[in-house]
Structure 1
Amino acid sequence: MRELAPLLAEDGVDINDVSDIDTLNRAIQKATERRNMELFTPVGARRDQAVALLMLIVAAIADGRTDRAGALLDKAQPKSSDNSMPEVSSCMGVALGLLDEWLSGRDPDVPKNLAGGVRLPAGHWFGERAGVNVLALARKGRAFQSVGSLIVGQGSHQLLAGSALALASAVIAWSRTSGTSVAKLLPDVLR
């Protein structure tokens, strides 16, 4: 509530003086949506940190280095007060946003029919079930907007891994389609 209080106050709701519970509930829902948008749509240093970590994770997955990918996923922090560490929400938001753009066909720079060629890498991956759900939603352009229900259904740790796995799958498919190595492609497409 401490994080939401300023957002509630902007809408004229004082959490210390609530006379109408319905008004409070509507204001909390609106404030929660705004707060989630801030968390999952990183800018500046927060985005740079998320992109840098996602590049390393995608490269590790593409190389089949599951232990390295797992260790890198663990580097994402719940919160970084000084923006020196990548945040879980930022990493998920960047991955889901890119996947929505790429797989729904909204990004004109993405190879045609990329969505049809994206498959999770073979093997058993942590976050695999979440990755399958993310890919299905991203093909409809709805993964980012579904982040709340994905977290409730999968858990944030599973969703972080699944988002990274789905992102790696898309980059690997893009690499195959374009004939460009993953290492060469990453800096151009993950931004």
Structure 2
Amino acid sequence: MSLHDLFRQVMAIYEQEKREKLSKERRSFQLVTRAIPEALKTLPFLPPDRYMAKGSVGQGVWTDVPWVAVMDQEVTDSTQRGYYIVYLFSEDRRRLYLTLAQGVTETPRDEMERVKRDIRQLIPAEERVRTDDDIRLGESKRAKDYERSVAAYIAYSFDDLPSDEQLARDLKTMIGYYRQYVERTEPMAPPDFL
């Protein structure tokens, strides 16, 4: 199944399934935690030795904002800290955002604001990629925390979700910005002299 179809399916069924008890057997759980990450891992610009894809619909109870993250393992292996690419589904499931964001659990607010500013300065003005604070995920505390963590994003709507080719191009663009930021900020490993 294509990325386009996987995302649309989550957007179409999540709200109904969320009314039931969270279970690994639910289709939304399967899509977000397995199918979408597996589809992302097949993209040639996401080598598995460097990038990890992981999704979540919540722990114990359904989250209002399901997500699928793509993390550079040299930067972070957890969505609770560091910065990474993450698809965020809005609470009403009408929008999907491809974002360059940060972990909200372990990142102090002042550091989050600094990193967000630094990333935004790196990204050139571009039609598809936005670097403002107009992202709208919903009204829950979690949605608001996620909105604050986003440095850049591309917004999609349920009614006008782009083709697989465009989704892949957009992700490749965001990965490019992610890499640029990583290369500018992460300390270089010392040379290995024998």
Give the TM-score normalised by the residue count of structure 1: 0.35
Greater helix fraction, Structure 1 or Structure 2: 1
Give the number of the structure whose alpha-carbon radius of gyration is greater. Answer: 1
Give the TM-score normalised by the residue count of structure 2: 0.35
- Which of structures 1 and 2 has the larger relative contact order (alpha carbons within 8 angstroms, sep 6+)? 1
